[in-house]
Structure 1
């Protein structure tokens, strides 16, 4: 795979700047690839290509767009080994997690969109009118580094199926897996200009996309601060915006008569520790009943031993490195902050030197107060805050006392858990061991974003309504 080109208007082409961004393996700190440092010239070429391709693509019957996406999915599946390998190298995600969550789950997501596309309500009859949903137009997709395939699939597949054309700017830290997607679109026979790939830095490519007059919508996933910046620029020309942003998600464990909390602890740990905590929906605040504190802390300590840290190439390892030196430093500062604020380390602590990779062990703070920095800020690392509550009302108060509202979980008797879930201010709430549903809408309350991804609701984000008043003579 040649990573030193951009994919614009159906052609692999050199970047206008002649400059490159190096890609580092966070497990070894070795530079192993580079991609073009795209700029406003590249964005302009891509925007013009996408704009030119839009009328024919939007007019293509949905069945034909679905047929092309079926071909894409078949090629996408054939790339599995390459995608696993490149994701391990560019992100440091361990083999088992990479295979199941970073790669194979994206086939499930793509299949879900294909199957749901014919069910999207594109025409709705009303008393004196008919409402149609049409493509928004050219979509600028700006994606993060933590799920380099997943966050891309969440945007480009529904956008394309709904008749939009796309310009993708993947994260500068994990851009390489997107090259395989571009190759798959090319081999599947998608028309020129329908899908375009422009790599580069957010301050250059992201800003150019957000302000380009031929870009009709920006779909952004990343930090809340980044989303605010992108949103402001996009709204200067009144573009559609969809923002999937940060989280500081609570996981509430209700008292158990048998005092066995093995399953909910595993569910919490899988959320906050796998992918080294670099997940926007991670259960980073564990709320436990005060009377069960000692019991649960013992079980936390014991179960945490299962979450081994090491080379992501090792099939038995559960946590690899964090993604970059910047992440390593940021997470380390939060751990230090937690210690300074008076939280007690139950497990883990400050990491070793990053000289041989950006490894941070699972870290658990207890005796955390919800007004502490570590309980309010999105750390985006394998750091869990354990907070006690007095009763259910207190648990709800703590859960909602944060500026985010992306995800949450409640574990306990089903009726009580559901009742509590309705009171939590979050776009998604998991009850007990319920699995994720690709057909469900995904998105947050408060500072966690605007809009939804996933399922029919995620596809509707890439449409705009037109009402025809057609009952007159």
Structure 2
């Protein structure tokens, strides 16, 4: 994978064939309205493809297809071992098409193709494999009862699951929702972000090739205000899983109340704190991971460690190390393996990031970056940017920027650091750097977030749940706990002659 050159990736990109229709009931189709929207490469501004613009009518077709498939049992009542075999084949197909899947996300939303090829696409295959392997290892329960009674408690699939996913990890986020939902026996209607629909459409085609029956996995590209809202309000969608902004997550909660009280599982915004204490003996490792935690994927990560709280006695030394790392991570062509950072997803997001940067110039100390740049005279690129001595109340430290912008805030005591870290509407993730085990455990206990990473950043795996608290939402992806979202507990009580 890593032996491909810049020219190799460019040649493969030039030969790409994009799927552009909605995938409904086992086949690609135009939107009923005939409308399309442009999928644009943010690194170049070029139109990659014109994709079917689905709306409520198309969502109706997809949900109806999913319902038919669920009710006739072609997937929902398939033996767990048979579903397992299909999803294992899908994992293998993703691996067999790894270059293509990586290029789709890189071209569509600007991420480094090497990251997509070594993290995103292999991760997608891994998660499908992990949930496939779990299917035939989840046991039901027998409740304790008296003689003559047998109470069976089973986990049953919900029916039709709507999944609305963001643009920052298009393939991975589609997988995080779909793998668990499909493993549990549901039908899925997936709405990818309008900025990055291409890998989800190819995923649907691979799922069909793997043997996922028609109607079980549908993809409806389109806009949030039309296709996304239609899924949220649909009376025949049993569950809506969402990753995206907090504001949109709140809308889906409202849509549930306005329709059929469908379950809604939101995983929303973040402003994750990274606490570095003076008793952290490996300041270089802390600097490496602090830079990774905010500049990876151009900072377009919901759990990005965008608030760096540093004990005052080591602040200057750590900032100096961070400046050096930021200056070595300048943006470049996402298809060039030598590039350290890719493009911002689109013009709107780029302008939003720069508004925060321009305001920050007046309120904090800009120590590196802060410029919008071009690569080969075009594209949406922003330098890795660090502000030092940021006020805890500054928008730089309060608002989710979703870009490569780090706010450094000094602290004087453990209590001070924890209080500032928790003083946020978000509670997705946090990191703690210390060589004092008691402090590590004590601070981790006090941080009101879904995941605390100690002496690393943003740790996750298939085995551990990912999600947040407060206005970061209460949905959980990954681990066996994700299956709770896509199943219902059903009791069958049998009286028998004893």
TM surpasses 0.5:
yes
1:103 is aligned to 121
Q: Equivalent of 2:267, from 235, 244, 247?
A: 244
How does 1:189-200 map onto structure 2 within 5 Å? 189-200=211-222
2:94 is aligned to 76
Q: 1:417 to 1:211 in 2, by over 3 A?
A: same
Q: State the secondary structure of the residue aligned to 1:450.
A: coil
Please identify, of 298-307 and 314-323, the stretch whose mean Cα deviation from structure 2 is larger: 298-307
Please identify, of 268-277 and 293-302, the stretch whose mean Cα deviation from structure 2 is larger: 293-302
Tell me whether 1:440 sits opposite 2:464 in the alignment.
yes
Contact 1:171 1:201 in 2 (8 A): yes
Tell me whether 1:324 sits opposite 2:346 in the alignment.
yes
Q: Equivalent of 2:226, from 184, 204, 207?
A: 204
1:114 & 1:327 partners in 2: Cα distance?
36
CA drift at 1:213: 1.4
1:70 & 1:352 partners in 2: Cα distance?
43
Contact 2:91 2:126 in 1 (8 A): no
CA drift at 1:124: 4.7
Contact 1:37 1:199 in 2 (8 A): yes
2:158 & 2:204 partners in 1: Cα distance?
22
Which stretches in structure 2 are left out of the alignment for 5+ residues?
A: 1-16
Q: State the secondary structure of the residue aligned to 1:283.
A: coil
2:38 is aligned to 22
With structure 1 as the length reference, what TM-score do the two structures score?
0.96
Tell me whether 1:410 sits opposite 2:438 in the alignment.
no
Q: 1:39 to 1:184 in 2, by over 3 A?
A: same
1:381 is aligned to 403
Which stretches in structure 1 are left out of the alignment for 5+ residues?
A: none
Q: Could you list the per-position Cα deviations for residues 353-397 of structure 1 after superposition, in whole angstroms to 9, with x for gaps in the alignment?
A: 797111100000111111111111000000001011111111100
Q: Could you list the per-position Cα deviations for residues 385-443 of structure 1 after superposition, in whole angstroms to 9, with x for gaps in the alignment?
A: 10111111111001100000001111112332122111100001111138532110111
2:170 & 2:270 partners in 1: Cα distance?
18
Tell me whether 1:348 sits opposite 2:369 in the alignment.
yes
Q: 1:257 to 1:466 in 2, by over 3 A?
A: closer
CA drift at 1:148: 0.3
2:242 & 2:361 partners in 1: Cα distance?
34
Tell me whether 1:161 sits opposite 2:183 in the alignment.
yes
CA drift at 1:472: 6.3
Tell me whether 1:125 sits opposite 2:147 in the alignment.
no
Q: Equivalent of 1:42, from 55, 58, 76?
A: 58
Q: Could you list the per-position Cα deviations for residues 26-59 of structure 1 after superposition, in whole angstroms to 9, with x for gaps in the alignment?
A: 0111112111010111111111110010030221
1:426 & 1:226 partners in 2: Cα distance?
20
Q: State the secondary structure of the residue aligned to 2:382.
A: coil
1:109 & 1:445 partners in 2: Cα distance?
23
Contact 2:431 2:456 in 1 (8 A): no
1:257 & 1:25 partners in 2: Cα distance?
41
With structure 2 as the length reference, what TM-score do the two structures score?
0.91
Q: 1:332 to 1:412 in 2, by over 3 A?
A: same
Contact 2:397 2:407 in 1 (8 A): yes
1:218 & 1:445 partners in 2: Cα distance?
18
Q: 1:53 to 1:256 in 2, by over 3 A?
A: same
Please identify, of 118-127 and 279-288, the stretch whose mean Cα deviation from structure 2 is larger: 118-127
Count of aligned positions: 471
